[in-house]
Amino acid sequence: MTLPVLQIEGVSKRFGNNLANDDISLTLAKGEIIALLGENGAGKTTLMSILFGHYTPDAGRIVVDGTELPPGKPRAAIRAGVGMVHQHFSLAPNLTVLENVMTGTESLWAVKSQTGAARRKLLSISERFGLRIDPDKRLGDLSVGEQQRVEILKSLYNDARILILDEPTAVLTNIEAERLFTVLKDMARQGLSLIFISHKLDEVMAAADRIVVLRRGKTVAERRASDSSKAELAELMVGRQVERPVREPSTPGALALAARDITVWVNGVARLKSISFALREGEILGIVGVSGNGQAVLGQMLFGTCARTSGTLELFGKPVADLTVPDVVDAGIGRIPEDRNHEGAIGEMAIWENAVLERISSPAFSKNGLVNRNAGMAFARRIIEEFDVRGGTPQTRARLLSGGNLQKLILGRNLLQNPRILIAAQPTRGLDEGAVAAVHARLLAARKEGAAVLLISEDLDEVIRLADRIQAIVGGLLSPPVEAADADARKLGLMMAGEWREVEDAV
């Protein structure tokens, strides 16, 4: 019998009162792709961080090719052929691709850098695995998909034979995700072994040979992908049947937000080009588009973190000057930013501090310039309970939460304030099936209660399911709106390609 390339044996890890991993074991064969599936906070990233040496387990061991790895030593894992591509990239945007790949591979005492040899090796690897990239391009000038390619190449440059990918498609478009999994399958055919963490059942079913399901730190199931279904996997993840809510017909109310001919220039480039839209109370307006087409700037402009260059903005029928964050909060606008780590939370602050951060001057959370800690703690406990934020207490630092649980914290602090307008940018990115269904139900409930919701999302199914009207953003331009009842994936795909007239003719 062939020895597995990887054995995880009885691994347990506790953070305070939180048992993140509870006696987990699994094996990985050469050329196999395993999907690690589970709810937010199920222990997936913790387990992979133990495998890569970022965390030391309280019990258990990691064996690679028959040799036990010393715990808590990433360099030993790398030498053993283990590579990890993190959900949030660990690359330097000011360096070139080649410089990023070479970082940490040469001795500080080396007389001369072996740049020529490194370039040849990088080009050989990129050609072999179909991950073509310009070694001399500055990383900050690359798309998100290209940056992820660099992360993978860096692991392969270090001779990885076992590759771990944490939520590899969380920030990719559907097309980029399809290309990625084509590459990963080719890697497996060439003998690499892969484990990828995901919440997306479609890609798990399409890409994995075997699926391991974790729930609350325990292994609850293991399935061959060919022997399972999305419905079964969703139920295994959350321990119950998962049903997405359905949008009910409604009649929109008064005009809540109107943008007319808005243009925004950033660093000498027009990111939004004379866009217009109208949002009414009791409706959801969906904005779809491939990442990088201006939707991030649109959200930032409405969040008060990016000034418009020209155009007019009206809130509830009244013109407003350039928005600031306090203006937005005071106007009853909820903010769910696209980048939860850099724009949505401060990792070193406690959960309760992040919960009240945007409304710290509100009478509910402060008086005479003093923060009401008890009120903040109570609000944080309410968010944790109602939005199922796992991994800590109100005093826990936000950086210790998984990405999905941090997202639920941001959603909770906004939705529990009953906003009159909600700007939701990629609100379910990184959430598991159960959490996605819960968030969709919350957004539809806010709509039913009269909130005006602007949903900015790259998930076409999500927008079709939730929105009343849909517009596409392409190169900073915004299409005319179409009714969701008249939209399907084909029409939205045309809109996202800028083919608006053809869509209007088809409708």
Mean pLDDT of 228-253: 87
Mean pLDDT of 243-252: 88
This prediction's pTM: 0.75
**C-beta atoms surrounding 253 within 10 Å:** 12
Mean pLDDT of 9-17: 91
Mean pLDDT of 181-190: 90
pLDDT of residue 503: 47
pLDDT of residue 479: 92
Question: Which three-class secondary structure string do you get for 122-174?
Answer: HHHHHHHCCCCCCCCCEHHHCCHHHHHHHHHHHHHHCCCCEEEEECCCCCCCH
Q: Is 264 helix (H, G, I), strand (E, B) or coil?
A: strand
Q: What is the H or E stretch that residue 483 is in?
A: strand 482-483
Q: What is d(CA 167, CA 199) in angstroms, rounded to the nearest whole number?
A: 8
Q: What is the CATH number of domain 255-332+419-506?
A: 3.40.50.300
Mean pLDDT of 257-285: 94
Mean pLDDT of 79-96: 85
With 60 as the cut, is the pLDDT of residue 281 above it? yes
With 90 as the cut, is the pLDDT of residue 260 above it? yes
**Of 28-37, 122-131, 144-153, 498-507, the least confident:** 498-507
| Superfamily for domain range 6-238 | P-loop containing nucleotide triphosphate hydrolases (3.40.50.300)
The whole-chain average pLDDT of the chain stands at: 88
pLDDT of residue 289: 86
Who wins on pLDDT, 90 or 33? Answer: 33
Which range, 80-89, 112-121, 465-474, 496-505, is most confident?
465-474
pLDDT of residue 506: 45
Q: Are 471 and 285 in contact (CB under 8 A)?
A: yes
Q: Is beta strand 59-64 parallel, antiparallel or unpaired with respect to 67-68?
A: antiparallel
Which range, 109-118, 164-173, 197-206, 442-451, is most confident?
442-451
Task: State what percent of residues in the chain have pLDDT above 90.
Answer: 50
Per-residue pLDDT tens for 386-440? 998 988 899 999 988 877 889 889 999 999 988 999 999 989 877 778 888 888 9
Question: What is the band of 106 on the pLDDT scale with cuts at 50, 70, 90?
Answer: low
CA 39-42-48 angle, 5° bins: 115
pLDDT of residue 164: 92
Q: What is d(CA 71, CA 74) in angstroms, rounded to the nearest whole number?
A: 9
Q: What is d(CA 56, CA 49) in angstroms, rounded to the nearest whole number?
A: 9
Per-residue pLDDT tens for 355-398? 998 888 888 898 888 999 999 999 999 999 999 898 889 999 99
pLDDT of residue 501: 56
pLDDT of residue 369: 84
Who wins on pLDDT, 339 or 111? Answer: 339
The CA-to-CA distance between both ends of the chain, in Å, stands at 60
For residue 163, list its beta bridge partners.
Answer: 83, 194
Per-residue pLDDT tens for 323-338? 888 888 888 899 999 8
User: What does the domain layout of the chain look like in residue ranges?
Assistant: 6-238, 255-332+419-506
Exposure class string for 72-87: b at 16+ Cβ within 10 A, else e: eeeebbbebbbbbbbb
pLDDT of residue 313: 94
Q: If you write DSSP's letter for every residue of 173-200 in order, what string do you get?
A: -HHHHHHHHHHHHHHHHTT-EEEEEES-
Q: Do domains 6-238 and 255-332+419-506 have the same CATH topology?
A: yes
Of the candidates 156, 192, 137, 10, the residue with the CA atom closest to the CA atom of residue 84:
156
